[in-house]
Amino acid sequence: MPELPEVEVSRLGVSPHLINNTIANVIVRERRMRWPIPEEVSLVVGHKVNNVTRRAKYLLIETAVGSLVIHLGMSGKLRVIDASTPLIKHDHVDIVLNTGQCLRLNDPRRFGAVLFQAPDTQLGLLDNLGPEPLTEAFDESRLYTLSRDRKSPVKSFIMDNAVVVGVGNIYANEALFLSGIDPRRQAGRIGAERYKRLTHNIKQVLAKAIAQGGTTLKDFAQTDGKPGYFAQHLNVYGRKGEDCEVCSNPIQSKVIGQRNTFFCIHCQR
């Protein structure tokens, strides 16, 4: 599943092609996505794209009459291509621009979404989200305060979107390793100093992933079709049984919160 860095890379890729251009058409070939695509998406036709922003893993294409809200789901890809480019299987939505280009959503599993958000309103799915991890609103005091009395594993805690958005499975594994924290530990039993280190590493690992183009997964590529370049630098994720690059002990794996979790029992306590 594309995580926050992959979605941010997509935003950075599509923004120059959309901002200050006019949406000439919205072509919906398949409305049966994660949620049915509403007829209201056509309201943006004829209006200029003022901005392309991101909230958690949602992209917002903003116009004066409202925003298109896009989620890539598990397998969604966005491409900026010539609007006349022949269709391939699973090309579900085109946002056609006055430039002759279009933003095309391809989603084999149809777990993605294209929704409409009216001006001065917010979709319910964007309610109750925590702060963005790369902003000052996310700091060690927030993590430490919210963790008190939490008995859930620290990995599940930092992946809770009400605590902080966008710390998906890959980057939670990596940040916990860099912080020397065992992902199985109860969140409430970790001290303030260690949460300070973890907060720093969450920010660092996400920023590095964005800078390097996201993490290469079988279902993800950048808007130019090239894969991301962060996977080659992963310390623990997907490396069960391989030697830890720090201590040479084998990387362990355990399912936490229905997600595969990778860690080193020697380096992480």
Binding-site residue ranges for DNA: 90, 109, 150
Catalytic site residue from 11, 54, 57, 155: 57
For residues 14 and 12, give the distance between their C-alpha atoms in angstroms, rounded to a whole number.
Answer: 6
Q: How many CB atoms lie within 10 A of CB 168?
A: 20
For residue 99, the 8-state DSSP code is T
- As annotated, the binding site includes 90, 109, 150
Catalytic site residue from 2, 133, 153, 183: 2
Catalytic residue status for 3:
yes
For 182-216, give one letter per residue: b (16+ CB within 10 A) or e: bbbbebeebeeebbbebbebbbebbeebbebbbbb
Residue 150 in tokens: 């939490």
For residues 189 and 111, give the distance between their C-alpha atoms in angstroms, rounded to a whole number.
Answer: 36
E strand or H helix at 96, and its extent?
strand 91-97
**Closest Cα partner for 200 from 184, 182, 183, 176?**
176
Catalytic site residue from 3, 6, 8, 132: 3
Residue 170 in tokens: 């890959």
Cβ atoms of 74 and 111 within 8 Å: the answer is yes
For residues 122 and 101, give the distance between their C-alpha atoms in angstroms, rounded to a whole number.
Answer: 29
E strand or H helix at 113, and its extent?
strand 113-117
Catalytic residue status for 131:
no
Q: Is 166 left (phi over 0), alpha (psi -120 to 50) or beta?
A: left
Catalytic site residue from 48, 185, 203, 259: 259
Query: CA dist 56 to 60, 72, 163, 265, Å?
Result: 11, 12, 12, 31
Residues involved in catalysis: 2-3, 57, 259
